[in-house]
């Protein structure tokens, strides 16, 4: 079995080696945003020290260096998701902007009575942009039901996918439940009905690598900051034919071929969707994050993450009144929970006093909170740099909180 040297890995993440509230930091809020390895900071620092200039403007050496670094990062992302071409890799500000771009781009295809299929476990980022475009076009946003265990109800999917369905917009992994959805088969069924498919990969990519060609989805989106890269940048993978068809999202410099007051024409892909000066250093940082991940043993990493989840699962019964929300068979190491007699936000505050960072609240998934009849949950979300000892610290903290306050 592959070994995963978590002690060595933690040295790559300087932020982890600190005390918070007099206790060693235990960072279990990776689902909200992950920490960055030194390699990412070094790459961005070197970019600013040695190569910063605007990109794609030619004319001088720094411009060429910046462009090479920026486009090199795009190629790194292309390989990461296995896109056929860098023409299909669009930089965005993140998952949210990528979904807004696609929802707006598909608006001309939508008319009254059309349906946009999402699920009851979506993040607001994969609900609200569709509601906004539905409002404009008369289309309807329809949610696929979720089972009490937190899996997609496949019967509900089969019932809802129909004549009127134009778009399937589905999360790969739930940010609340950790559920890994069986998207490949759902994409296949959708495609058989000529439905456009978008996969929200925000919570998937920190745990495993997607293959957009094998999945055969039309769009796949994610954020850099959850993938151990910088904030302010994300990725829209799109099938070239569809990206050619849909109109630009924003107008400005870079996205045009020729501008005149009579007629303006669009630049080629991917630049058609990249108006204005992009987040160059951030693209370089994301590229460095992926290269860092590429140096790790993927199988060992997944095994280590699974071991964290198994340890957490084994400790649930040590906290009286603790209940897990999301018990799917196939899940990433994310644990949403409640404890009888305690408000989730109090759990968060009391854990923080012990150096343990988790997230509490509705997790931008209010429809899912309504489904479970809770105002919010406490959520511990693990990354490959977390340790079994940290899982134990979390549970020691929970036991104490339960004893004293529940």
Name the residues annotated as catalytic. 364
Nearer to ligand PMP, 225 or 311 (CB): 225
Nearest to 358 by CA among 305, 316, 325, 397: 397
| Contacts of 307 by beta carbon, 8 Å cutoff, 6+ apart | 388
Q: Least distance to ligand PMP from the beta carbon of 364, Å? A: 6
Shortest distance, CB of residue 194 to ligand PMP, whole angstroms?
25
Measure Cα distances from 5 to 9, 10, 237, 386, 388 in Å.
6, 9, 32, 11, 12
Decide if residue 29 touches ligand PMP (CB under 6 A): no
Label residue 392 exposed, middle or buried (CB < 10 Å: 0-12, 13-18, 19+).
middle
Q: In terms of CB distance, is 279 or 322 closer to ligand PMP? A: 279
Contact between 171 and ligand PMP (CB under 6 A)? yes
311 binds ligand PMP (CB under 6 A): no
Cis preceding-peptide flag for 139 (omega within 30 of 0):
no
# residues near ligand PMP by CB under 6 A? 13
Beta carbon nearer to ligand PMP, 66 or 170: 170
Measured CA to CA, the distance from residue 77 to residue 90 in angstroms comes to 10
Pair 274, 280: CB distance under 8 Å? no
List 35, 96, 181, 336, residue binding ligand PMP (CB under 6 A): 96
Coil/strand/helix, residue 152: strand
* 203 contacts ligand PMP (rule: CB under 6 A): yes
Are the CB atoms for 108 and 84 separated by under 8 Å?
Answer: no
User: Interface residues for ligand PMP in 375-404 (CB under 6 A)?
Assistant: none
The region of 90-98, 240-248, 305-313, 394-402 touching ligand PMP under the rule CB under 6 A is 90-98
| 4-12, 199-207, 277-285, 324-332 -> range binding ligand PMP (CB under 6 A) | 199-207
Binds ligand PMP by CB under 6 A, chosen from 200, 274, 305, 390: 200
Residue 35 Cβ, how far from ligand PMP at the closest point, in Å? Answer: 15
Is 95 a binding residue for ligand PMP by CB under 6 A? The answer is yes
Among 76, 104, 175, 393, binds ligand PMP (CB under 6 A): 175
Nearer to ligand PMP, 170 or 322 (CB): 170
Is there binding between residue 336 and ligand PMP (CB under 6 A)? no
- DSSP states along 372-399: HT-S-EEEEE--TT--HHHHHHHHHHHH
Told to check if 331 binds ligand PMP by CB under 6 A, we report: no
Question: Concatenated DSSP letters for 19-70?
Answer: EETTEE-EE-BTTT-----HHHHHHHHHIIIII-S-SS--SSHHHHHHHHHH
Residue with Cβ nearer ligand PMP (67 or 95):
95
Distances (CA, A) of 214 to 99, 262, 283: 21, 43, 25
- E-only strand ranges, 227-292: 234-238, 256-258, 265-266
Indicate the residue among 186 and 342 with the shorter CB distance to ligand PMP.
Answer: 186
Q: Which is nearer to ligand PMP, 92 or 354 (CB)?
A: 92
Contact pick of 83, 101, 125, 342 for ligand PMP (by CB under 6 A): 125
Which is it for strands 23-24 and 19-20: parallel, antiparallel or unpaired? antiparallel
| Binding site residues, ligand PMP, CB under 6 A | 94-96, 123, 125-126, 171, 175, 200, 202-203, 223, 364
């Amino acid at each position: 079995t592959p070994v995963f040297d978590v002690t060595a890995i933690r040295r790559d993440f300087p932020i982890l080696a600190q005390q918070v509230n007099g206790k060693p930091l235990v960072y279990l809020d990776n689902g909200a945003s992950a920490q960055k390895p030194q390699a990412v900071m070094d790459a961005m620092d070197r970019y600013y020290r040695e190569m910063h200039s605007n990109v794609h403007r030619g004319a001088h050496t720094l411009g060429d260096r910046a462009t090479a670094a920026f486009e090199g990062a795009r190629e790194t992302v292309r390989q990461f998701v296995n896109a056929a071409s860098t023409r299909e890799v669009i930089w965005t500000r993140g998952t949210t902007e990528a979904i807004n771009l696609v929802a707006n781009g598909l608006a001309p295809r939508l008319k009254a009575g059309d349906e946009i299929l999402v699920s009851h476990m979506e993040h607001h980022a994969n609900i609200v942009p569709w509601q906004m475009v539905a409002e404009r076009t008369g289309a309807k946003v329809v949610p696929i039901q979720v089972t009490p265990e937190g899996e997609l109800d496949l019967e509900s999917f089969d019932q809802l996918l129909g004549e009127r369905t134009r778009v399937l917009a589905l999360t790969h992994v739930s940010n609340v439940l950790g559920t890994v959805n069986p998207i490949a088969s759902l994409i296949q069924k959708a495609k058989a009905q000529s439905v456009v498919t978008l996969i929200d990969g925000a919570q998937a990519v920190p745990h495993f690598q997607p293959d957009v060609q094998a999945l055969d989805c039309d769009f796949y989106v994610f954020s850099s900051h959850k993938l151990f890269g910088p904030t302010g940048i994300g990725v829209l993978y799109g099938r070239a034919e569809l990206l050619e068809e849909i109109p630009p999202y924003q107008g400005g410099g870079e996205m045009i071929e020729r501008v005149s007051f009579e007629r303006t024409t669009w630049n080629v892909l991917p630049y058609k969707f990249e108006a204005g000066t992009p987040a160059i250093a951030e693209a370089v940082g994301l590229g460095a994050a992926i290269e860092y991940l590429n140096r790790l043993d993927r199988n060992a990493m997944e095994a280590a993450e699974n071991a964290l989840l198994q340890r957490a699962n084994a400790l649930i019964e040590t906290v009286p009144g603790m209940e897990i929300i999301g018990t799917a068979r196939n899940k990433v190491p994310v644990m949403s929970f409640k404890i009888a007699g305690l408000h989730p936000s109090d759990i968060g505050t009391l854990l923080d006093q012990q150096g343990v960072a988790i997230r509490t609240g509705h997790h931008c998934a209010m429809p899912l909170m309504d489904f479970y009849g809770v105002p919010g949950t406490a959520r511990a979300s693990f990354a490959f740099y977390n340790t079994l000892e940290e899982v134990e610290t979390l549970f020691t903290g929970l036991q104490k909180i339960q004893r004293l306050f529940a």
